[in-house]
Structure 1
């Protein structure tokens, strides 16, 4: 397929997403199933246009003067693919599968508008109702942070130190563009793709099959490391999900002590079994039934709460979620977070840590949630997070933002990672 056919397909997928209010991955999958003639390169390019259009929905729409699927599809190519209005029309000329060329009205809109002149919320590429949330979280940097959340993400990997080291994994991934991550000690980064490119299928690599590495955003690796798990500890990962942080903690502990992986939704735990077998983590116990948690009460050195959240810190990877999010959903997540924190605290031993994590950039889910929890439970106090950060990641003092609550925030513009928040709270009493 030429660019015109790929753009037309992307517009079709965008129309499907808007009409049926469905996740982008589902829409792209269904398009591929009904258009089996499209090769892997075509599907990747179409996906890139769709994702770019959703990341830049506001700025692309503003550039063309409307936010239709056609406008944001064309706008994505102008903003992200290095195309000009003229080069785009030239590329589409004579392609019978292409959408109609840019009209005189559209050409004039593109000629008259410069992205840098757009309103702040447009340059940030965030929903209008989220502006106060970004201003609260980032202050004067909110536009830059929103814009960074609209960029293409890298592909990050975590070396499994139980099986390999970073030099060995990098040697295995030679030719993929892989390089050491900037902050995480065991992180590897493959840069964001350009144009119609696609990331290498690292899960097909023998090194992945042998358990030498996992796919995990550098920010997720960082917040897992900040939990402070050490050899011999007793740790509960209360919202373990697919187990990414569970595996990271297990490696930090050198396969000693015990990690109990629990999730209220059993189905979310399903991938962890294969991951444990592949990576040879031997100190992980799956605790799927609430009754099995009872013996752990007041016995855990660390209880990790990777809470369900809006996922606003992951908008680079899930840009469709940005436009589906509502205030009602945010309020629902806050209620869930409060209930989970109140339940999880019971498992922390005196002197132990309750480590609260989200992949959100909103204070309502982060610092405000911690403050409300502490108001309910005065026996939990934040640790010295500057000291914690400097002890874990010396040489990177400017890569983390410390909040008034004492927690640590990461973000694409600041740390080059997805948006994450972590706050470690120590329970009063004897212990470490």
Structure 2
């Protein structure tokens, strides 16, 4: 397929997403199943256009003066693919599978607009209703932070020190462009792709099958490291999900001590069993029933709450979620977070830590949630987060924000990671 056919297909997928309000991955999968003639390279390029269009929906639509699937599809190529209006028309001209060329009116609109002149929420590529949330979280830097959440993400992996070291994994992945991460000591990064490229499928690598590494964003790795799990500790991962942080904590403990992996929804835990077997994490117990949790009360050195959240910090990877999010959903997540914190505190022993993490950038889910929890639970006191950061990541002071109330924030513009929030509170009772 030439660029014209790929763009037409991307517009078709974008129309399907808008019409049926469905996740982008589902829409792309269905398109592929109904167009089996498209090769792997074509499907990757179409997916790139769709994801770019969703990341830049506001700015791409603004350039063409409307937010139709056609407009944001063309706009994505202008913003991410190094195309100009004229080069696009030249590339599409004569391609019978291409959408109609840019009209004279569209060409004039594009020529007369500079993204620097667009409204702030357009430059940040966020919904209008999220503007005050970003201002509250980032202050004067909010437009740049929003724009950074609309960029293409890298592919990050964490070396499993139970099986390998970073030098060994870097050697295995040398042909992928992999490099050591800037902050996380066990991280490896494959840079963002360009144009119609695609990331390598690292999960088919023999090194992955042997358990040498796991796919995990550098920000998630940093949060797991900051939790401070050490050999011999008793740790409860209260919202373990698929187990990414559970495995990172287990490796940090060198398989000594005990980690209990729990999640209120058993289905989320399903992937953890294969991951444990592959990585040889032997100090993890999966706990699903309340009766199994009861003996852990007041006994845990660390209780990790990787709370369900809006996922606003992951919008680079899940841009369709940005446009589906509503205030009602945010309020629902806040209620869940509050209830989970109140439940998790019961398992922290005196002197132990309650660690709260989200992959959100919103204050409502982060520092405001912690402030409300502390009003209800004065015996939990934040640790010195500046000292904590300097202990694990010396020399990287500029890569994070340390909150006045005691917390740590990461973001694409500041840290080069997904957006994450971290707060560790000690039980001083």
Give the TM interval when normalised to the shorter protein.
over 0.9
**Counterpart in the other structure of 1:111:** 111
CA distance in 2, matches of 1:46, 1:313: 24
Q: Quote the offset at 1:212 in angstroms.
A: 0.2
- Report the Cα distance in structure 2 between the residues aligned to 1:309 and 1:291, rounded to whole angstroms: 26
Counterpart Cα distance in 2 of 1:421 and 1:23: 25
Q: What are the within-5 Å matches in structure 2 for residues 167-182 of structure 1?
A: 167-182=167-182
Corresponding residue for 1:146?
Answer: 146
Q: Distance in 2 between matches of 1:10 and 1:217?
A: 27
The C-alpha deviation readout for 1:285-321, integer Å capped at 9, x for no partner, is 0001121100000000000000000000000000000
1:343 alignment partner in structure 2: 343
Partner of 2:54: 54
2:205 is matched with 205
The answer to whether residue 230 in structure 2 is matched with residue 230 in structure 1 is yes
Does 1:389 pair with 2:384?
no
In the aligned structure 1, how far is the partner of 2:128 from the partner of 2:94? 39
Match of 1:292 in 2: 292
Q: Distance in 2 between matches of 1:51 and 1:142?
A: 22
Whole-angstrom CA distance in 1 between matches of 2:329 and 2:405: 24
Deviations 1:301-355 (A, max 9, x none): 0000000000000000000000000000000000000000000000000000000
In the alignment, the residues of structure 1 paired with residue 265 and residue 325 of structure 2 have an alpha-carbon distance, to the nearest angstrom, of 22
Does the 8 A contact of 1:151 with 1:316 survive in 2?
A: yes
Matched, 1:122 2:136: no
The whole-number CA distance in structure 2 between the counterparts of 1:295 and 1:361 is 35
The structural deviation recorded for 1:66 is 0.1
Q: Where does residue 372 of structure 1 map in the other structure?
A: 372
What SS does structure 2 have at the residue aligned with 1:260? strand
The CA deviation at 1:402 is: 1.1
Once residues 254 and 200 of structure 1 are traced to their aligned partners in structure 2, the CA distance between those partners, rounded to angstroms, is 30
Q: For each residue in 1:137-184, what CA deviation from the matched residue of structure 2 results, as whole angstroms up to 9, or x when unmatched?
A: 000100000000000000000000000000000000011000000000
- Which blocks of at least 5 consecutive residues in structure 1 are unaligned? none
Aligned to 1:75: 75
Structure 1 runs (4+) greater than 6 angstroms displaced: none
Which residues in structure 2 correspond to 1:286-365 (within 5 Å)?
Answer: 286-365=286-365
- The normalised TM-score by structure 1 is 0.99
Counterpart Cα distance in 2 of 1:139 and 1:319: 23
Q: Quote the Cα distance in structure 2 between the aligned partners of 1:26 and 1:288.
A: 29
CA deviations over 1:79-115 (Å, ceiling 9, x no partner): 0000000000000000000000001111011000011
Please name the residue that 2:402 is paired with.
402
Task: Find the counterpart in structure 1 of residue 268 from structure 2.
Answer: 268
| Partner residue in 2 for 1:11 | 11
> 2:2 maps to what in 1?
2
Counterparts of 2:298 and 2:135 in 1: how far apart (Å)? 39
Whole-angstrom CA distance in 2 between matches of 1:356 and 1:97: 51
CA distance in 1, matches of 2:290, 2:79: 49
Distance 1:41 1:94 in 2: 22
Distance 2:399 2:291 in 1: 41
Q: Deviations over 1:2-25 (max 9, x none)?
A: 000000000000000000000000
- SS of the residue 1:189 aligns to: strand
1:405: how far off? 2.1
Normalised by the size of structure 2, how large is the TM-score? 1.00
* CA distance in 2 between partners of 1:281 and 1:384 (Å): 30
CA distance in 2, matches of 1:209, 1:290: 33
CA RMSD of aligned residues (A): 0.4
Structure 2 Cα separation of the partners of residues 132 and 357 of structure 1: 22
- Whole-angstrom distance in 2 between the partners of 1:277 and 1:243: 12
* 8 Å contact from structure 1 (residues 58, 125) kept in 2: yes
Query: 1: CA distance between counterparts of 2:352 and 2:109?
Result: 59
Whether the aligned pair in 2 keeps the contact of 1:370 and 1:405 (CA below 8 Å) is no
How many Å separate the matches in 2 of 1:105 and 1:287? 61
Measured in 2, the distance between the counterparts of 1:188 and 1:359 equals: 20
Secondary structure of the residue aligned to 1:350 is strand
Q: Secondary structure at the match of 1:175?
A: helix
